[in-house]
Structure formats: structure tokens, C-alpha cells
Amino acid sequence: MWREAAGSHLLTRPNHVTAAADKRYHSDFFLHGCIISAERRPESCAESCLEMFWFQQGLCFLPVFLVVWSSATFIFPYIIAVFRGDVDVVFPYISDTGANPPESCIFGLMTFVSACAGTATIYARYKYVEKLTEQNGLVKPRLNEATLGLGIIACLGMCIVATFQETAVTIVHDVGALIFFISGIVYIILQCVISFKACPYGSSVRVCRVRYLIAVIATAAFFPTVICTGFVKQTTLHRHTYDEDYPYQIASAVCEWTVAFSFVCFFLTYIEDFKMFKLRVRTEYED
């Protein structure tokens, strides 16, 4: 059992410690013997942050890595597939670029790493919002928790897409893609709501508006992706302009790429926020 005194000391701040003296604010909870702490940087840290490289500030390396790696996940398999002649140059489906080996191996591995990085970034964002609003109550905990759950479900959909190739197990692959897109879109919409509710304590109004625009673009592009896919009958990786369903395939593929990079751009807006806090893990021994 955990010692009550130790738990109380870790989970609460003594009354005699003032805000000026306590320059780091912690939000702790127990997880299998560990404590994960969200630490928000106060404004007084601004000068010390200037002495760091930008990627050393807070946890901004998480969204940076996610954005760079996810972009490479979409681009590298496409380049390899085009170079090998496995897909057409003009807007193939994203999954088509990872249908044949060796690009399928690269696509699967990189997508899985993107899902892991996405999970870490989504969780860090959850802890940041939790700490940011625990005093003022601008964001309801259930909203923050629901957003976390949807983000993790979207990452699970990415893992399904990475594991089950389009040409091997089509139904499971398509289900995973739908889970990823639907959960991802709802996630960024709810994050927009959270951003506006927490403004100006979190992101600036300009960043909130950019996130709103990205969410609108992703949502608007999702519906043509699904609708036009229903009219695509040809299942081969190579298509021709004289094919009856070619316009639907192009429209669907363009919208699919738009949704995918909308997600990438959305996480790009996290960089400034993630400069302002860190997560720390401490281990406590049982008696």
C-alpha cells in the first residue's frame, strides 16, 4: 500500500508555499508505482528559454517529430512506389503507395512509429490542458478526457492501416482508415473547442483561428473522400484517364491527401504550446 503521508505530500502543495516561491506547478497521479507530472513554465522562464535552442524548450520536440515523421511517412513510400512504377504519379491513394514491397514495409513501420508519436503528443496535450485549466475550470475534465480517448482511437486506426495492407485484407484496412479519419477529425474539432474555451490562457486567438480553419478543411475534404470512393469500381493500382471512374478516383485521392496533411498541419500548431511545459516521471516504492 502507498503511504498516505507520501501520497498527500506528492499530490498537494502546502499552503505556506506561495505562487512566487513555487515556480513550478505540478499535476500528479499514480500509475503503476510511477507519478507523471505536468509542469507548466511560468512567464519568468522566458529569459532562460531564449538561451535554449527552440527544440529544447519544453516538449516541443514531440509535435515537431510527429509532423516531420508523418510527412515522411506519406512522402517516402510515394517516391519509392513511383520510382518502381507501382503507382501512378498523379494522386494515387495514400494506401496504394504502401501496397507492394518494399514500400509496404517502409509504410507500415513508419505509420506505426507515427501512431506511437501521435499517442505521446495527444497525451501530453491532454495533461497540458488539464494543468492549464485546473484553477479556472474553463475546460470541463470530461471534454478533455473525451478528446484524449478519440485521439488514441485515431492512433489505433493508424496501427490497423499499417498492419493490414490494402491489397491483403481490404475490409480491415478500410475499417482502420475510417476509424483514423473519423476519430481524427472529431479530435481536432474538439481541440478547437478546447482552444477557444481556454483562450487566452493557452493558445493565442490567431492560433485558435488557424486550428479552426484546418478543422473546417479536414471536415470538408472528408465527405468527398468517402462519397467519391463509393463510385470507384476499379481496384488496380494503375488507372487511366479514359476509365469511367477516373474522375471520382482523382477527387477522392486529392481529398484523402488533404485530410491527411490537415492532421499534420494541426499538430504543427502545437509547437508553441508545447514550449511552455514538461512532463516528468517519478517512481515511488511501496512499503
Least confident of 81-85, 212-216, 231-235, 252-256: 231-235
Under 8 Å between Cβ of 197 and 138? yes
Q: Supply the pLDDT for residue 173.
A: 92
For the cut 80, the answer to whether the pLDDT of residue 8 exceeds it is no
The pLDDT value given to residue 264: 96
What number is the average pLDDT over the span 252-278? 93
Within 8 A by CB and 6+ apart from 224, the residues are: 251, 252, 255
pLDDT of residue 235: 75
Average pLDDT on 55-61 reads: 78
pTM: 0.81
pLDDT at 111 over 50: yes
Q: Between 48 and 279, where is the model more confident?
A: 279
pLDDT above 50 (res 179): yes
Confidence of residue 283 (pLDDT cuts 50, 70, 90): confident
